[in-house]
């Protein structure tokens, strides 16, 4: 009986947590990040404000949950292309396109939200300690993009490429935030234009002339690592 009761409580807790998260995301879309208070989020979720704070200490923690959910959705949306394609260009473009697809419902409040995420000391920053689980999970996905490809590359590139691709995806995301074209068409065009170039550079990394340049790029990333 105890196991059944514990399982029931766990399921209810998960449902409550999910309800609060969904309420927060709905209010972020409707009112923007700043205007959506924890009290309003709790009311939308049908729980007390104290109960909302029991599961999430702040809106920042809700955003970390948002990152986690987005990554799970991104992982699922990338599954088909990673299971069927070996070409690095196809794997990379398919994975980054999938990222934009799952972010699209949040485009209306993205600019307001990313204003906070761009602040160096903000826990919402993708480089913050609080965002480390989401960051490492995303880099792991791009490691899968690389490891499952048939691409040949220079020494040391395979180890560091996933992090560089994650940084590339951040650049695409920033472009998407400011993309006002219908259906964010320019963002998809940018992905389709840049993914082959990245794949070509990776292939060219086997050439001695480019190894030093690539090594310099990796050294810059190391120096700037947070």
- Among 5-14, 121-130, 173-182, the range of highest mean pLDDT: 173-182
pLDDT of residue 4: 47
Output the CA–CA distances (angstroms, integers) from residue 204 to 91, 157, 201, 215, in the order listed.
Answer: 18, 11, 5, 13
Tell me, yes or no, whether 106 and 167 share the same domain.
yes
Residues 149 and 182 in one domain: yes
Q: Closest Cα to residue 142, out of 117, 124, 169?
A: 169
**pLDDT mean over 173-181:** 94
Q: What is the pLDDT of residue 120?
A: 75
Mean residue pLDDT of the chain comes to: 87
CATH of the domain at 97: 1.10.357.10
Whether residue 91 sits in one domain with residue 20: no
Q: Among the three residues 34, 57, 80, which one is the final residue of a domain in this structure?
A: 57
Q: How many angstroms separate the Cα of 119 from the Cα of each of 38, 89, 167, 180?
A: 21, 32, 17, 23
Query: Do 138 and 43 fall into the same domain?
Result: no
Residue 6 — pLDDT band, cuts 50, 70, 90? Answer: low
172 and 106 in one domain?
yes
Residue entry with tokens 């480089």 = 127
Count of other CB atoms within 10 angstroms of residue 5 = 9
Angle at 82 between CA 219 and CA 126, to 5 degrees: 45
End of a domain among 18, 36, 57? 57
Instruction: Assign 111 a pLDDT band (cuts: 50, 70, 90).
Output: confident
User: Are residue 52 and residue 67 in the same domain, yes or no?
Assistant: no
**Is the domain of 17 the same as that of 3?**
yes
In a shared domain, residues 100 and 66: yes
Which pLDDT does position 114 carry in this prediction? 75
Residues 143 and 212 in one domain: yes
Domain at 19, CATH number: 1.10.10.60
> Which residue has tokens 């104290």?
50
**pLDDT score at 141:** 97
What are φ and ψ of residue 90, in 5° steps?
-65, -40
Whether 2 has a pLDDT exceeding 80, the answer reads no
pLDDT for 84 beyond 80 = yes
One domain for residues 52 and 77: no
Rounded to whole angstroms, the Cα distance separating 214 from 226 reads 20
Give the residue among 111, 100, 16, 17 at the shortest CA–CA distance from 66.
17
142 in the same domain as 71: yes
Give the domain range for residue 49. 1-57
Q: What is the mean pLDDT of residues 45-59?
A: 92
Task: Please check whether residue 73 is in contact with residue 95, taking contact to mean a CB–CB distance below 8 angstroms.
Answer: no
Tally of domains in the chain: 2
Residue bearing the bigger pLDDT, 218 or 34: 34
Pairwise pLDDT comparison (212 vs 132), residue with the higher score:
132
Helix/strand/coil percentages in the chain, nearest 5: 80, 0, 20
| High-pLDDT (> 70) share of the chain, % | 88
* Res. 16: pLDDT tops 70: yes
Q: Same structural domain for residues 24 and 127?
A: no
Question: Locate tokens 């919402």: which residue?
Answer: 124
* pLDDT tens string 184-201: 999 999 999 999 999 998
pLDDT at 134 over 60: yes
Q: Bigger pLDDT: 102 or 127? A: 102
Domain boundary among 57, 72, 97: 57
């Amino acid at each position: 009986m105890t196991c059944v009761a514990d399982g029931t409580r766990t399921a209810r807790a998960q449902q409550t947590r999910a309800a609060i998260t969904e309420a927060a995301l709905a209010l972020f879309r409707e009112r923007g990040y700043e205007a959506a208070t924890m009290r309003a989020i709790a009311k939308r979720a049908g729980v007390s404000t104290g109960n909302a704070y029991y599961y999430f200490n702040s809106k920042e923690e809700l955003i970390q949950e948002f990152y986690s959910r987005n990554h799970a959705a991104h992982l699922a949306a990338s599954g088909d292309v990673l299971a069927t394609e070996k070409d690095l260009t196809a794997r990379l473009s398919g994975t980054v396109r999938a990222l934009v697809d799952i972010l699209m419902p949040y485009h209306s409040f993205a600019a307001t939200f990313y204003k906070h995420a761009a602040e160096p000391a903000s826990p919402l920053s993708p480089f913050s300690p609080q965002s480390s689980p989401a960051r490492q999970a995303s880099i792991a996905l791009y490691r899968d993009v690389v490891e499952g490809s048939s691409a040949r590359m220079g020494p040391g590139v395979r180890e560091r490429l996933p992090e560089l691709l994650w940084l590339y995806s951040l650049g695409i995301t920033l472009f998407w935030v400011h993309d006002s074209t219908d259906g964010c068409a320019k963002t998809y065009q940018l992905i389709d234009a840049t993914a082959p170039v990245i794949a070509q550079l990776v292939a060219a990394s086997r050439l001695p002339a480019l190894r030093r340049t690539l090594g310099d790029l990796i050294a810059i990333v190391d120096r700037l690592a947070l």
